[in-house]
Amino acid sequence: MTELTLGYSPCPNDTFIFNALIHGLVPCPGVTFHERLEDVETLNRLALKTQLDLTKISYHAFGHLRRDYVLLHSGGALGRGCGPLVVATQPMTMKDLHDKPILIPGELTTANLLLQLYDQKFSEIRVLPFDQIMPALERNEAAAGVIIHESRFTFAEHGLHQLLDLGAWWEQLTGLPIPLGGILAKRSLPVRLIQQVDQALAESVRYAQAHPEKAAEYIRQHAQELSDSVTHEHIQLYVNEFSVNLGDEGIAAVQELLARAEKCRLIPVIDLPIFATS
C-alpha cells in the first residue's frame, strides 16, 4: 500500500472535488491518502519545503515549484469569470493605488501574480489571510485589497467598490481562461502512480458532479460560516470542465501565465516539462 500526503483547502470547491477520492467513493487501488486541509498560501509554503506528496497550489507558486513538482490534469481551478477582484474603500483608479497600501491574500497567490502582471508599480503591498481582507478594509487599514473565493459574491455588502476584475483583464488580454490553482504531485513519484492518481481525481470530480448530495456534509463541515447559497455559487464558479481535465485550452492558459511571469522576472525560468513524462 502506497501512502501519500495530500493537501487541499477547506474551500467548498476543493472539498467538493476531493470528497469522493478521500472517502473511497472512487477507486485508486493500492493508494491511501492522508489529507491536510489548509488555506492555499499555507499549502504554497508547505510545497516550497516539499512536505506534501500531492497538493493544491496557486499557479503563481507552481512557477517556483517546477523543479520538485509536476502538474496534474485534473482537480484544479481554472475558468472564465472567476478571477480575483481589486476592491477599494472609495472609488478610484488603479494608478491611484501606486503609493497606497494594497492587501493581498498571499505573496505566492495567483491573485498577487495577476496584480503584478497588470502593473508592477504598486509600492505598498501587504499580506493578509484572504478572509481578513474585507474586514481590514472596513476598518480603513488599507486603501484596497485583492479578494478571492466567496468574497467576490459579498464585497458590495461591505460597502466596497470594485476597481478591476483581474480575471476579466486576463481574458481580454490573452483570450484564455484564468488559471487560479492546480494540483501538483512530487516529480520524484513514479510516473505510473502520478497518472493513476490523476485519473482517480478526475473520477472524483465526475462523481461529485453526478452526486452533489454525497459531498454536502463534508463541504458543510469545513465551510460552516458560509450559507448554502454562497457555497453553491462557489462550487458552480470554480468547478467546471477544466476541473475534470485541463485540455488543450487549459494547458495553453497555464503555459501563457508562466511565460508572462518569467518574462517579467516574477518567477524563475525553469526548462522542465510541467507534466509527468515517462
Listed residue (41, 10, 45, 61) closest to 127, CA to CA: 41
Q: What are 47-104's pLDDT values in tens digits? A: 999 999 999 999 999 999 999 999 999 999 999 988 899 999 999 999 999 999 999 9
Which residue positions form the known binding site?
56-58, 110-111
**Active site residue ranges:** 149
- Are 212 and 234 in contact by the 8 Å Cβ rule? The answer is no
Category of 31 on φ-ψ map: left (φ > 0), alpha (ψ -120 to 50) or beta: beta
Question: What is the average pLDDT score of the chain?
Answer: 93
Q: Hey, what domains does the chain have and what are their CATH numbers?
A: 2-79+178-263 (3.40.190.10), 85-174 (3.40.190.10)
Cell of 75: 482537480
Please determine, for residue 242, whether its predicted confidence score (pLDDT) is greater than 80: yes
Q: What are 1-12's pLDDT values in tens digits? A: 899 999 999 989
Please determine, for residue 156, whether its predicted confidence score (pLDDT) is greater than 90: no
- Are 57 and 182 in contact by the 8 Å Cβ rule? The answer is yes
Q: How many Cα atoms within 13 Å fall on the side-chain side of residue 109? A: 25
The verdict on pTM exceeding 0.85 is yes
Which residue positions form the known binding site for substrate?
56-58, 110-111
